């Protein structure tokens, strides 16, 4: 198994996870506006606890967005710097996909609609389905839409994300699907996706570790 470090700072939560010897160690904390100091200490803590140096990693991954503009940019910057210094590849993972993966792993729901608040009266929207390997894959690419845009879904989906809380009245009119009250991305689920993508050769270089914003006009947060 590869040795992979994953981080996410795309929401009010801050998290890091490390895959080594087929086991996962992780750190997670909901701490708005403390990401810069927390994520670095989490990375250091994980590496020290596992007696691992950065240059021993096979890859480093991050929640590439969509999400908080400053959060995803922070993660991309940190990962890009670490990967460049250690000459290791980077794996950017959709934060919506990571939330969908959590629902599959924890609740065994294979079809997930992820709707995260994007501010400016918009939502980040992702439809995901688990493949035969138990890995969430996008049915269609992530996008940004108005919460009142009607999108037809099958009745076998479950919904997750902050959008269902922020725009509850609007979305309730369009969707009659079970909802799961979770909205923070956790790096340990992102790590599962990164390990799968790594096995498929879906990696990039440090200089191409770019955030995903989905809109030209960014909601600063």
pLDDT tens for each residue of 195-206: 999 999 999 999
- C-alpha–C-alpha distance, residues 217 and 101, integer Å: 28
Stated pTM of the model: 0.94
Residue 59 pairs in a beta bridge with 4
Q: Do domains 4-94+184-208 and 96-180 have the same CATH topology?
A: yes
At 132, is the secondary structure helix, strand, or coil?
coil
Mean pLDDT (the chain) is: 93
Q: Which residues of 143-157 are buried (b: 16+ CB within 10 A; e: fewer)?
A: ebeebeeeeeeeeeb
Fold topology of 4-94+184-208: Nucleotidyltransferase; domain 5 (3.30.420)
Query: Per residue in 113-172, pLDDT tens?
Result: 999 999 999 999 999 999 999 999 999 899 999 998 867 677 789 999 999 999 998 887
Fold topology of 96-180: Nucleotidyltransferase; domain 5 (3.30.420)
Longest Cα pair distance anywhere in the chain, in angstroms? Answer: 52
| Phi-psi map region of 199: left, alpha, beta (phi>0 left; psi -120 to 50 alpha) | alpha
Residue 220 has pLDDT above 70, yes or no: no
What residue spans define the domains of the chain? 4-94+184-208, 96-180
Residue 193 has pLDDT above 60, yes or no: yes
């Amino acid at each position: 198994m590869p040795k992979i470090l994953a981080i996410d700072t795309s929401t009010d939560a801050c998290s890091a996870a490390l895959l080594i010897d087929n086991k996962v160690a992780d750190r997670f904390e909901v701490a708005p506006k403390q990401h810069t100091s927390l994520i670095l200490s989490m990375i250091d803590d994980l590496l020290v606890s596992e007696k691992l140096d950065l240059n021993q990693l096979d890859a480093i991954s991050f929640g590439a967005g969509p999400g908080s503009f400053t959060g995803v940019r922070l993660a991309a910057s940190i990962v890009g710097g670490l990967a460049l210094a250690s000459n290791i590849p980077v794996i950017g993972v959709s934060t919506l996909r990571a939330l969908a993966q959590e629902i599959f792993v924890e609740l065994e729901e294979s079809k997930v609609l992820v709707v995260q608040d994007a501010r400016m009266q918009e939502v980040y929207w992702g439809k995901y389905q688990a493949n035969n390997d138990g890995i969430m894959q996008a049915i269609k690419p992530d996008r940004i839409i108005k919460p009142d845009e009607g999108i037809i879904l099958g009745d076998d989906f479950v919904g997750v994300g902050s959008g269902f809380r922020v725009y509850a009245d609007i979305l309730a009119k369009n969707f009659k699907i079970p909802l799961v009250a979770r909205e923070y991305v956790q790096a340990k689920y992102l790590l599962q996706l990164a390990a799968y993508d790594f096995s498929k050769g879906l990696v990039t270089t440090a200089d191409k570790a770019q955030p995903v914003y989905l809109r030209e006009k960014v909601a600063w947060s």
